[in-house]
Amino acid sequence: MENLPKEGRSQEIGRLAARALGIKLPKSWIETPLAGDTDFGIDYTIQLKSNENYVKYSFYLQLKGTTVPSYSTDKTFISYDFNVSTLNSYRQQEPLVMVAVVDLSENEEDLPNCPIYYFWLEEEWFSTNEHKLKTQSTITIRIPVNNILHTSLDVYEYYSNRILEKFAVTELKKKIQIPNKTSVESIELFTNA
């Protein structure tokens, strides 16, 4: 054989997953791919447009492809294993991280028919999995199969509510600030009380 670069199967799966995503991206999403050697587990920055075409919010997206999907027995969830170190990195991110899994198992040659399932890694998920994040090397994320990423998916209101909640918490922090204490110390005192 010639001494030439050769694409591995995992690279091919990643490339096919990216192509499938490109077909199904909602019109209101403006995607910016991140360089593979500098993304540290984040594949895209997604900016969200309002109905009036104002670019207002953004989030991160991590894309995974699989040819051997792991569905629950009742087919209501698809599971995918993530490294805890990557998940801990996601927890530190602002904005929010969405993970998306492309099932290439039956339609690898017909990418428009490959389902893409998505899941928001919110604070509640991290709190629920706190023990696993400290004691395991991988965590299986179970994604409901009704979370389908498609061209008409609208996450704008969801994200808008998230940002409004963030602003409300910021205002609350101002009101409960205890003199000579940091915001974190003040919140911890209120939480313990």
CB 63 within 8 A of CB 103: no
* Model confidence, pTM: 0.88
CB 26 within 8 A of CB 152: yes
- Token pair belonging to 190: 């209120």
Q: How far apart are CA 178 and CA 169, in angstroms?
A: 16
CB 82 within 8 A of CB 97: no
Q: Which pLDDT value is given to residue 1?
A: 59
User: What percentage of the chain reaches a pLDDT higher than 90?
Assistant: 72
Which DSSP helix (H) or strand (E) runs through 18? helix 9-24
Tens-place pLDDT, residues 112-171: 999 999 999 999 999 999 999 999 999 999 999 999 999 999 999 999 999 999 888 888
* pLDDT beyond 90 at 177: no
Summary mean pLDDT of the chain? 91
